[in-house]
Structures are given as structure tokens and as C-alpha cells.
Structure 1
């Protein structure tokens, strides 16, 4: 297969599209593994007899494990071929997901999520680095939009399928399903991912110079803080939507799956549109518009009245998913363009680490704010929404300080 890196740069061509789809497939299983935890929350609360705070610990354990691994990996990741790193990390992720499939106690599930987080968090950073290395800035928004479409595909196909498997066979089988999906993707990655050798000079002794190099520059710190704010602006709300809809709005588990199906279909389409618009009109401008628009469904979804018809509630969740996920596309394109190629892998590993920290903080924050009443419903979801709005406004402010260098 012809090297993707050598192809013409005027438009997205067939070989580049294949690479986008392959990277998106890796992300699909990775995102599905993370997202499926949200709608399965009710199963875990009942089977393990835990509260929302303990469930938040399971969510955040994945995130914080990913954060620590990515932070350590930032010192070494640019010294390896991108393809080799991606394959190694994806294998580790599949092993961690397989452990989730056989978990039968709360403590074992916690352990399994840590293993999945260690590898799953790092593989995302490598995938984004591959996009930054292969695609020039004028096409990076489209490429990022395509890979971000994995979120939509996971919502449309992955999460609803996982919910139905859990309903018919048990939640353990949902994780086994993810592993079965991942195995042929792993084979394709081995065969077709482009070889992207390290651009660093050979070093015999590993040290923390790369991490220091990334964290010592003010522009890097601003970019990292910016993306953490973007993630917190969504995940403080996302982590509790499914259980809130079940307990407070009276949604059935089938109706919860509709949230991901309908929202995912719309997001799949909008991801490509947002990527195109980002390249055409500028990343900063599109991000500004999407953030301001996203504030409305964030406030709406955290203030839903109990007597709201199901179709109207689904409309709110769909707009929420489209706009909140849409913000990530121009912000990630800005992020990958703010770093020089020779340190992009290390920077993206640090970013993956802090992104995981942000998702963990978001889960813990939501778990700490929400209060479960004796009848099983939750209150103070509106407070969670106010925090999300604050994080989005902070991201908006920081976005003006992110400088594009490549």
C-alpha cells in the first residue's frame, strides 16, 4: 500500500480516507468502551449495591489511570514509530476491556477499568499525533472531523448495541462484544497503518526532557488548559445524563438507547460539516459559535421538567450531543496545530493525560454534586449545568490565547 504521507495534499483522497476510517475504527471501540459505562450505571448500582459516588470512582479510575500513563508516556512516545506505539497500546486496551468482561466484583471491575484506562488513554493521543503528522493544517479539520465521527458511530451503533446486549445477556457481555469488534481492527492496523518513524534524534537513555520541554513553554500550558476546559464543559453533564433520564424522567432503557442512536446519527453528519466549516472559516471562529450555541442545551438538559414529553426530551439531548461534541472538532484541530511536529507526540500524550484528568474530575464533580433521594431520583443536576457553563466560558477565553504554529 502506498505511503499516505506521500500523497497529494490538495484534497482528501481515497488512501487518506481509508486511514481516517481506520483511525476512527480504533477510536470507535475505545470511545464505546468509555461511553458504555454511562448507560450501564443503573446495572452497576444495583448489582454491586453502590452509590453514585462509588460509581464515579469507577469512571474516574479509568480517567486517572489514563492520565498517569499518558503523562509518563509523554517522555518516550516521540522516540517510537507511531504505528508500533498505536498497535502496542491498542492490544493493551483490548486486554483491559476483556478483563471488564469477566469482572464479577466491584473491586475487580475497578482494577479492570484501570488497566483499560492505562492503554486506552494513551492510544487516543497517538492517533491524534498520526493525524497531525500525516495531514497538513489545511486538511486537518476534515481529518479530525472524520476521526471524531467515531464518537457519533459509537453513539449510533456501539452504545445502543451494548445496552441491548446488557438487557438480554448481562453487562459483562457488552465488554466481550467490544473485544470481538476490536480484533479485526487490530489486524487492519497491523497491515495498513503508515509507518511514521520518530523525528527525534536517537537517545540511549530515557529521561524526562521531553516532558519538561512540553510543560516549560507558556503557549503549551495555555493550550493544555484550554482543552481541559473544553472537556470539563461537556463531561460534567455527560456522565449523568443516562441515569438522570432513567430515574428522573422515567425513560426506559430502550428509550435511553434512543438518546445515543438519534443523537449519534445527527452528530455523525454534523462532525463532517463542522470539520469542513473549521477549515473554510477558521477554527477559532467556528469554536466561538459552537460554544455559545452549546450553552443553551447544556442549561436545558439540566433543567428538564419531569412532565416533558419524551420526544421533546430527545430533541434536547440530540441538540446537546451535536453542539457539545461539535466544539471538540475545531478545538482539537487548533490544539494539534499549536505544536511543532517534533514534540507533537509528547504534547498529545500530556494532553491525553490532562484530558483524562478532566473527565475524571467531571465524573467526580457530578457524583459529588448530585444527591440521590429515597425514591431513587436525583436532584441538583441544575448545579452541574452551571459548572459546565462556567467551564465553557473559560474555554472560550483561553481559545483566544492559543497560537497556531504548524
Structure 2
């Protein structure tokens, strides 16, 4: 009986822990590059004299560029060694981030975000494919939870550091910091990422059969739409939290930094717990539990009254980050288990594309709904919250349609 129990719940071993850490490190810089845009919003609004709608174009330009690149990449990403693809894309991402570091105009920053999005969006799909290739389904929840811990690390270490650098030196230096952190990670990836050869037969790069295989299966379509709803259920609110807290709630920039520090520390611990619980009690069950709980902080954070005490507001934002990010772990494990290994890279590229579309739509929706008043504050954040709740309930319904095959 002991042998059976061990076989059904295998443990993560040392070399797998190192791989998870390396993949999480790549995701750390990738996520930080995207997340840092939210607390820097106030800088961009003032320096470029733009409104929230124009700022949402900067956010969505990254997302939509990532979407197009990932969709095109779905046609050929499975034809390459996973390690080679990850290194090439991560290098391109660092180049795009370096361009952000030297941007001085709205137009050039828009261009730089497009470049970073093209490569950054695709590298996420490759990382998730590596997890699907290396880890069996019994370990995938824990592995996914470990890599998702990059979100927490970016919140605890990356974003607060980026905010402080922006306060003292300017927002351009924040992107330079990301590049400086990313270069040694790239070196470690070159040395230690496992070589995972393509499982496909050699075919012309112009062959679109892989994309057809992904989109021809209704089970795949359901899984893709499901994950888009998951992303929209968080990013409609996430994109505007920092500037809303500054302008409406009276948070200082250091208080905004605390949102990411405290929330990140808590989600770092909770992400591993959620991964374990997903493997132990089932991905569907844990996802449903977290979605229903997440509705409470979503509605709370979008209805905070003016003058609400900062410490209590930080409690709300912390629970928001724990539960909203926690939903993604069982959702991602469900989705990666819904596809066959031979087309996993193509599927994840399509998913990265649609995930980027969802983040872009979330930014555009929030930018369109929020109204900036003459005194600089914003109204209609409550409507953004209702939209997020609707997307979460849709995701909850669609989760029952996702079928596990591997």
C-alpha cells in the first residue's frame, strides 16, 4: 500500500526544484516588466500629459503584440527545441525592456512595449510547455504553483524595488533594473535549462496544421475561453488599483509599494499551498472555492470609501492578491492537462495569445469605464468590479467543461 501511495503522489526532487526556480526567475522578470506599469501609471499620466484611455493603449499594446506573436508562434513553436526557443525569446524580451529604459516620448515607449510584448508573451508559453513536458500530471500542480510564485516574488521584490528606483532616479531606470536582473538569469538558462527536442516530424515553417489541430478541437476551445475569463476576472481590476489608491484613497507611492510587498509575501506562501491543495483535492474543486472567495475582495476593493484607513485598505488589497492570483494556479494546471503532449507548445502559444488579448481587453475596459474628474480622482471603479465578478462567474461555469487528458 505504501508503494501505491508513493506512486500516486510523487514528491518534487532537488533537480526539479532547481528547474522550477530557474523557470520562475524568467517569469519573475517577465511579470515584473508587465506589473511595474501599473504603479508607474501616475508618472506616465503626468510626464506625457495623457488620460487613462491613452495609458490603457500602452498596456494593451504590449498585450496585443504578445497576442499576435504567440498566435503566429503557435504554427512553429513545437518544431524547435524548448531550450533554444526559450533562450531566443527571453533575449528578445530583454532587448524590448532595454528600449523602454531609453524611451523619452509616448510614441517611443509605445514602440518599446510592442517589442517587449512580442517576445515576452511567447516566452511565457514556452515556459509553461516545459512544465507540461517535464512534470507528470501528479506533480504539475506543485510545479505550476512554484512558477506562479514568480508573481509573488515580483510583487515582494521586483515591483517595490522598481517603485523606489522610479522615486529616486526616474521610471526609465526601473526598466534598466529589470534588464540588469535578467542578464544573469539568461546565462543560467543557457547553462542549465534542459534540452527538450521537438516531438514533431520536420515540416515547413509555413505549415499551419498545428494551429489547425489546436483550434479544430472543441475541448481546446473551451479550455482557451475558460482561461481568458479567468484573466479578465482579475485584470479588469488589477490595472487600475495603484492609481486609484493614490488619487482616490490618498495612498503615497510608498503605500502603493506596500500593496505589492505585503500582498506578494502572502501570495508567495499561498501559491505553494494552493498548488498542493490542487493536487490533493482536485483542480476543479479548489478553483471553485477560490473563485467564490475572490468575489469578496474584488467587490470590497472597488467600493472602498474615500478616507478609508490605509492599514485596513492594505488588508483588502492583500486578500485580493492572494485569492485572485490563487485562482490562476488550479486554472493553469487544468488547462495544461487538457491537451496532448505533441501539440502542447502550439496550444500554449495560442493560450498565451488569447491570455494577452484578455489582459489587453481588461486594460481597455478599465480605461474606458473609469472617468477622471477635474480634481484628478476617478469614479466608476465600482462598475469595473462588477465586470470582474461577471467574468469570474463565467470562468467558474466554463471550468466544468474543461476535460483532463494528460
TM over 0.5, shorter chain: yes
Instruction: Give me the CA root mean square deviation.
Output: 0.9
Correspondences of 1:63-78 after superposition (within 5 Å): 63-78=63-78
- C-alpha separation between the residues in 1 aligned to 2:368 and 2:211? 32
Shift of 1:10: 2.6
Q: Which consecutive residues of structure 1, in runs of 5 or more, have no partner in the other structure?
A: 1-7
Secondary structure of the structure 1 residue equivalent to 2:375: coil
Number of the residue aligned with 2:296: 296
Number of the residue aligned with 2:346: 346
- C-alpha separation between the residues in 2 aligned to 1:301 and 1:335? 29
Deviation digits for residues 128-165 of structure 1 (CA, Å, limit 9, x no counterpart): 00000000000000000000000000000000000000
Once superposed, which parts of structure 1, at least 4 consecutive aligned residues long, lie more than 6 Å away?
Answer: none
Contact kept in structure 1, 2:302 and 2:385, CA below 8 Å: yes
Number of the residue aligned with 2:228: 228
Number of the residue aligned with 2:405: 405
Secondary structure of the structure 2 residue equivalent to 1:240: helix
- C-alpha separation between the residues in 1 aligned to 2:269 and 2:385? 26
- C-alpha separation between the residues in 2 aligned to 1:369 and 1:392? 18
Number of the residue aligned with 2:5: none
Q: Do residues 307 (structure 1) and 307 (structure 2) align?
A: yes
Contact kept in structure 1, 2:103 and 2:109, CA below 8 Å: yes
Number of the residue aligned with 1:4: none
Decide whether aligned partners of structure 1 residues 229 and 302 sit closer, same or farther in structure 2, where only a CA change above 3 A counts: same
Contact kept in structure 2, 1:98 and 1:175, CA below 8 Å: yes
Correspondences of 1:380-399 after superposition (within 5 Å): 380-399=380-399
Number of the residue aligned with 1:86: 86
- C-alpha separation between the residues in 1 aligned to 2:268 and 2:383? 29
- C-alpha separation between the residues in 2 aligned to 1:132 and 1:366? 33
Deviation digits for residues 332-391 of structure 1 (CA, Å, limit 9, x no counterpart): 000000000000000000000000000000000000000000000000000000000000
Contact kept in structure 2, 1:29 and 1:181, CA below 8 Å: yes
Number of the residue aligned with 1:59: 59
Shift of 1:11: 1.3
Shift of 1:54: 0.3
- C-alpha separation between the residues in 2 aligned to 1:110 and 1:131? 32
Number of the residue aligned with 1:106: 106
Secondary structure of the structure 1 residue equivalent to 2:206: coil
Contact kept in structure 1, 2:20 and 2:146, CA below 8 Å: yes
- C-alpha separation between the residues in 1 aligned to 2:229 and 2:112? 28
- C-alpha separation between the residues in 2 aligned to 1:208 and 1:378? 46
Contact kept in structure 2, 1:141 and 1:275, CA below 8 Å: yes
Shift of 1:202: 1.3
Number of the residue aligned with 1:333: 333
Correspondences of 1:149-298 after superposition (within 5 Å): 149-298=149-298
- C-alpha separation between the residues in 2 aligned to 1:300 and 1:224? 29
Contact kept in structure 2, 1:9 and 1:136, CA below 8 Å: no
Shift of 1:205: 4.9
Number of the residue aligned with 1:27: 27
The alignment covers a number of residue pairs equal to 399
- C-alpha separation between the residues in 1 aligned to 2:333 and 2:169? 40
Shift of 1:9: 8.7
Number of the residue aligned with 2:36: 36
Q: Which consecutive residues of structure 2, in runs of 5 or more, have no partner in the other structure?
A: 1-7
Contact kept in structure 1, 2:60 and 2:359, CA below 8 Å: yes
Shift of 1:204: 3.6
Number of the residue aligned with 1:373: 373
- C-alpha separation between the residues in 1 aligned to 2:120 and 2:359? 13
Secondary structure of the structure 2 residue equivalent to 1:239: helix
Shift of 1:201: 1.0
Q: Do residues 136 (structure 1) and 136 (structure 2) align?
A: yes
- C-alpha separation between the residues in 1 aligned to 2:246 and 2:79? 47
